[in-house]
Amino acid sequence: MQPKTSNEQTEYDAATVRRWVQAAQAGDQEAYGALVKMYYSRVHGLLLGMVRNAEDADDLAQQVWIKVWRKLHTFKGEADFYTWVYRIATFAGLDFIRKRNRQREVDWPQDYDGPTETMAETTSSVRSRPDEVSVTNEVWQAFETALGTLSPEHRAVLVLREVEGLAYDEIAKALRCRRGTVMSRLFYARQRMQTMMKDWR
Amino acid sequence: MNKLKAQQWMSQALDGELSARRRQRLEQWLAAHPEDRVLWDQWQQIGSQLRAAVEAVPPLRSSAQAWAGIRAELDDQKAAAGAWTWFGGRSAAWAGSLAALLIIATGVWWWSFYTPTPVSTAVAEVDRTQVEWIDTDIESAMPVVYTDAGTGLTVIWVSFDEEKREDNGYAG
């Protein structure tokens, strides 16, 4: 099977995706490549919201897709393929943040200045069109800082809701927690972000 | 409804998870509490800012470039796994045979060192004792000493007249 892979980020219909998944499960790397190309950007966005660093999100996205390939035989097709992928990606993101936090505690207890390129820094450099810049870099920096104060779990919930647009039940399933936990984490995350951003409004 | 409950409902309403009836009550609350309306707007902004931030930072590599990297990694892993499979497959028979041979050789070596030495060998290895005389109070006893040709042992043989032996009280 030769799936059309030239058109990046094209959303294919569910039947095509299913065919690619089945082919990939049978070992067809071309079919898997089509899936990767279709969803790579979304997985990257999800991870970027969680890890807040473009380079880390890129590396992590690659690791996630390698992990997905290895676990592909366990995908039963009960859920949508991307739903299954973002669950893996979310846990990979959470793992990464936890490890990074532990590393920071060990390596930079006193004078850690933050990652080399934060989302705010990358955002300000990428947003080159003046009409697109509706807020100042300082606000972006404050937003990124506020996001960084959230625990990995709270950040994951916020990203899954606001970036992925998932419903509470889907988030609960993805994070293997209760719906009520999702609800309270979102409420807390919003309160916390709003408090942290208060001075910048 | 108190402030905390109203704000919890606000969060749920933003996510489209609040029932129509509660949503109506929330609207009434917001109309009466403008400070919570401000909060509502700010929470909405948090969501849109997060989305904008993520959208503004595209992946460093295009999805085609990323796939090339992923594929290369998968190929490397496949090659490594293939080598491992070969090692664990056809050559496993060789490895098994070699291991069996090694076990047998070790067993033989161990046996040769630790198995009790046969008596004849033991006798041959110890210092020979020269039998100079045999003394017995059995009447008419006649000792015979000779070296057994088969074992190399020195055999002491005492022969006597059975009747005389019983008379002297050597029964049993």
pLDDT digit string (tens) for B123-161?
555 555 666 667 777 767 777 777 777 777 777 777 766
> Which residue carries 């082919």 as its tokens?
A23
Distances (CA, A) of A163 to A37, A47, A152, B88: 19, 10, 15, 46
**Best CA proximity match to A159, nearest among A169, A149, A171:** A171
Chain A: residue whose CA lies nearest to B65: A37
Q: Which residue bears the tokens 């820094």?
A: A121
Separation between Cα atoms, residue A9 and residue A184, nearest integer Å? 34
Confidence (pLDDT) at A81 = 92
Mean pLDDT of the B1-17 span: 93
Q: Are strands B154-159 and B142-147 parallel, antiparallel or unpaired?
A: antiparallel
Maximum distance among all Cα pairs of chain B, rounded to whole angstroms: 140
CB contact under 8 A, B66 and A58: yes
Q: Which fold has domain A110-201?
A: Arc Repressor Mutant, subunit A (1.10.10)
Partners of residue A147 in chain B, C-beta under 8 Å: 50
Interface of B with A (CB under 8 A): 7-8, 11-12, 14-17, 39, 42-43, 46-47, 49-51, 53-64, 66-67, 69-71, 73-74, 77
Contact B29, B56 (CB under 8 A): no
Please report which confidence band the pLDDT of residue A122 belongs to, taking 50, 70 and 90 as the band edges. Answer: low
Chain A closest-CA separation from residue B20 CA (Å) = 17
- A85–chain B nearest CA distance, Å: 15
Nearest to B63 among A40, A122, A126 (CB): A40
**Residue B88 CA: distances (Å) to CA of B91, B98, B101:** 6, 14, 18
For B45, the closest chain A residue by CA position comes to A194
Residue A172, pLDDT above cutoff 90: yes
Per-residue pLDDT at A6: 39
A1-107 placed in CATH 1.10.1740.10:
yes
Q: Which residue, among B4, B57, B61, B75, would best test binding to A if mutated, counting the most A CBs under 10 Å from its CB? A: B57
Provide the pLDDT for residue A106.
62
Q: What is the ipTM of this complex?
A: 0.75
Helix locations, B61-161, DSSP H: 63-88, 90-114, 119-125
Hey, is B143 helix, strand or coil?
strand
3-state secondary structure of B159: strand
Q: Which two tokens stand for residue A87?
A: 């669950």
CA distance A156 to A177: 12
pLDDT in tens, A131-154: 444 455 677 778 888 888 999 999
Write down the pLDDT at residue B162: 63
The residue extents of the domains of chain A are 1-107, 110-201
The answer to whether residue A108 scores a pLDDT higher than 80 is no
